[in-house]
């Protein structure tokens, strides 16, 4: 059914089922933090940050906001555009490096809050490449026929794992979430190719040591100077890695999809740094206008950056029916990943949901809250009764 070789994962043109993006949504925290706000407590300046990164501001989660709440809001929007019910979903994947818990997964929380009780749910860890990894995995499952629809989310609260004493990293990142709904359809197109790569030898260039770390039982920081649960980054090395892999992997994904790089209408890259994107566009020989960039307003939101940028590209009407879109992510692992999508169903400008479905979704969200609470209460009551009986 599918071809695969050492240069990539799959060639969708040979399959009868195709995985199309039919819904999209994004959410960011209420509070924006400008470079000037940041320089009030970090030894930096708007001039330095903007010149080196293209970033002007980022959003920072407040106490009531988290990776899961942002993911949930983005997911609701994506379901609204797709005009399907949460109960139609077979799978929910959340790509994140800032999961709400080790477990339960952020995806399971979103599944519960949506009342998507027919869906499996898990988190995927591939740092800033995570969204493309998750899309590829969901698209493959759809094409293989094991599922019909998937909700793929990239969601992060990077502000909670930043070392705010480290001015070379804390200025770069922000919080947010983006989501898409993928659905099986016989119309050729949708996700055409996916190229996933990793180089663990570069793992020490960008890392957040956690509970399973070799240093986790020691009170001091790791031998290499890392702090547990805090991000460490060798910025210069990561910069060189990123500019190299973006062009390489977009070329590979195009080849696998059977198109030329010049056939790409829009590249939606991971929004790490404007200079990285400009260098990658030059290497690919693509006009920088064809590289979507919104890093100025969001900073680097890791796994959330590609779906947020995708939503903005659609809002700005930069994607038309039958366009070829390349997604490309890169980051910790080291990992990188590219994907080519032929946009097909529906035409972004023509999407309109039905009022009845909207009401049914809202009823399901209310049922979800009631169902979760009542199950917890029942468990507590049962356990109290057992205590009294013993
Ligand atoms: N404000 C002001 N000065 C800063 C600063 C800040 N926020 N951060 C570092 N500096 C200083 C350094 O201390 C250094 O000073 P010195 O020359 O007196 O020692 C100087 O600026 C240059 O530092 P350097 O680290 O060489 O800067 P750079 O040009 O490499 O830019 C990054 C740093 C982080 C912006 C750049 O390396 C980068 O963007 N890397 C890629 C990071 C990335 O995108 N990661 C995510 C991938 S998913």
Contact 190, 344 (CB under 8 A): yes
Show me where the domains of the chain are located: 11-342
Nearest of 60, 67, 63, 62 to residue 42 by alpha carbon: 60
CA dist list (Å): 50 to 183, 296, 312: 39, 8, 21
Say if residue 212's pLDDT is above 90: no
Q: Point out which residues pair with 331 in neighbouring strands.
A: 335
Across residues 270-290, what is the average pLDDT? 94
pLDDT of 320: 92
To test ligand 1's pocket by mutation, which of 34, 96, 168 has the most ligand atoms within 8 angstroms of CB?
168
pLDDT of 218: 59
Across residues 196-201, what is the average pLDDT? 96
Q: Of the ranges 158-172, 234-248, 278-292, 350-364, which one carries the lowest mean pLDDT score?
A: 350-364
Say if residue 15's pLDDT is above 60: no
pLDDT of 7: 40
Whether 324 is catalytic: no
Contact 31, 156 (CB under 8 A): no
Distance CA 92, CA 123 (A): 8
Tokens 């407040």 locate to 62
Task: Decide which of 150 and 229 is more confident.
Answer: 150
Nearest of 250, 302, 304 to residue 273 by alpha carbon: 302
CA of 48 relative to ligand 1 center, distance in Å: 9
pLDDT of 81: 93
Percentage of the chain modeled with pLDDT above 70: 91
Whether 136 is catalytic: no
Give me the catalytic one of 35, 115, 273, 300. Answer: 300
Say if residue 327's pLDDT is above 50: yes
CA of 45 relative to ligand 1 center, distance in Å: 12
Task: Decide which of 10 and 192 is more confident.
Answer: 192
Percentage of the chain modeled with pLDDT above 90: 79
Contact 185, 171 (CB under 8 A): no
The predicted model scores a pTM of 0.92
Contacts of 285 (CB under 8 A, 6+ apart): 261, 262
Digit-coded pLDDT (tens) for 352-370: 668 888 899 999 999 998 9
Name the residue with the closest Cα to ligand 1, atom 3: 44
Digit-coded pLDDT (tens) for 146-170: 999 999 999 999 999 999 989 999 9
Is 50 a pocket residue for ligand 1 (Cβ < 6 Å)? no
Contacts of 124 (CB under 8 A, 6+ apart): 93, 94, 95, 96, 130, 133, 134, 137
pLDDT interval class at 5 (50, 70, 90): very low
Helix (H) or strand (E) holding 93: strand 91-95
To test ligand 1's pocket by mutation, which of 44, 235, 274 has the most ligand atoms within 8 angstroms of CB?
235
Report the chain's mean pLDDT, rounded to a whole number. Answer: 91
Across residues 208-237, what is the average pLDDT? 74
pLDDT of 250: 97
CA of 258 relative to ligand 1 center, distance in Å: 39
Of ligand 1's atoms, which has the minimum distance to the CA of residue 275? 39
pLDDT of 8: 46
CA of 22 relative to ligand 1 center, distance in Å: 39
Helix (H) or strand (E) holding 198: strand 190-198
pLDDT of 209: 86
Burial of 257 (0-12, 13-18, 19+ CB in 10 A): buried
CA of 301 relative to ligand 1 center, distance in Å: 18
Name the residue with the closest Cα to ligand 1, atom 20: 168
pLDDT of 6: 42
Digit-coded pLDDT (tens) for 335-352: 999 999 999 875 444 556
Task: Decide which of 313 and 350 is more confident.
Answer: 313
Contact 18, 143 (CB under 8 A): yes
pLDDT of 4: 44
Say if residue 134's pLDDT is above 90: yes
Homologous superfamily of the 11-342 domain (CATH)? Thiolase/Chalcone synthase (3.40.47.10)
Is 202 a pocket residue for ligand 1 (Cβ < 6 Å)? no
Distance CA 139, CA 151 (A): 11
pLDDT of 228: 82
Digit-coded pLDDT (tens) for 85-118: 999 999 999 999 999 999 999 999 999 999 999 9
CA of 306 relative to ligand 1 center, distance in Å: 23
To test ligand 1's pocket by mutation, which of 33, 38, 52 has the most ligand atoms within 8 angstroms of CB?
52
Across residues 46-59, what is the average pLDDT? 97
Whether 357 is catalytic: no
Say if residue 229's pLDDT is above 60: yes
Report residue 346 as tokens.
Answer: 């529906």
pLDDT of 227: 78
């Amino acid at each position: 059914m599918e071809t695969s070789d050492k240069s990539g994962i799959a060639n969708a043109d040979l399959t009868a089922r195709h995985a199309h993006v039919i819904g999209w949504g994004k959410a960011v925290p209420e509070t924006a933090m400008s470079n000037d706000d940041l320089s009030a407590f970090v030894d930096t300046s708007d001039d330095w940050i903007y010149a080196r990164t293209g970033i002007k501001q980022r959003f920072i989660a407040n106490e009531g906001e988290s990776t899961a709440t942002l993911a949930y809001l983005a997911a609701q929007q994506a379901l609204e555009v797709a005009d399907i019910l949460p109960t139609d979903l077979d799978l929910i994947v959340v790509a994140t490096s800032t999961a709400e818990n080790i477990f339960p997964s952020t995806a399971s929380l979103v599944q519960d809050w949506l009342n998507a009780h027919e869906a499996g749910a898990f988190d995927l860890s591939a740092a800033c490449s995570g969204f493309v990894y998750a899309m590829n995995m969901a698209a493959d499952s759809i094409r293989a026929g094991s599922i019909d629809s998937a909700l793929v989310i990239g969601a992060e609260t990077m502000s909670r794992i930043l070392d705010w004493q480290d001015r070379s990293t804390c200025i770069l990142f922000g919080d947010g979430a983006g989501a898409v709904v993928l659905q099986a359809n016989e119309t050729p197109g949708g996700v055409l190719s996916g190229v996933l790569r990793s180089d663990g030898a570069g793992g020490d260039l960008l890392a957040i040591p956690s509970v399973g770390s070799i240093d986790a039982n020691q009170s001091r920081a790791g031998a290499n100077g890392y702090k547990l649960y805090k991000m460490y980054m060798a910025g210069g090395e990561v910069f060189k890695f990123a500019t190299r892999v973006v062009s390489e992997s977009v070329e590979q994904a195009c080849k696998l999809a059977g198109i030329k790089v010049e056939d790409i209408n829009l590249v939606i890259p991971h929004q790490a740094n404007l200079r990285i994107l400009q260098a990658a566009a030059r290497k690919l020989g693509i006009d920088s206008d064809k590289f979507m960039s919104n890093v100025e307003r969001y900073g680097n939101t890791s796994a959330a950056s590609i779906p947020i940028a995708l939503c903005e590209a659609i809002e700005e009407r930069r994607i038309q029916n039958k366009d070829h879109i390349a997604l490309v992510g890169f980051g910790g692992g080291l990992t990188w990943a590219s994907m080519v999508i032929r946009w097909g169903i529906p035409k972004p400008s023509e999407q309109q949901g039905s009022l009845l479905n909207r009401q049914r979704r809202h009823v399901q969200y209310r049922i979800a809250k009631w169902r979760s609470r009542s199950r917890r209460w029942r468990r507590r009551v049962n356990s109290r009764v057992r205590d009294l009986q013993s």
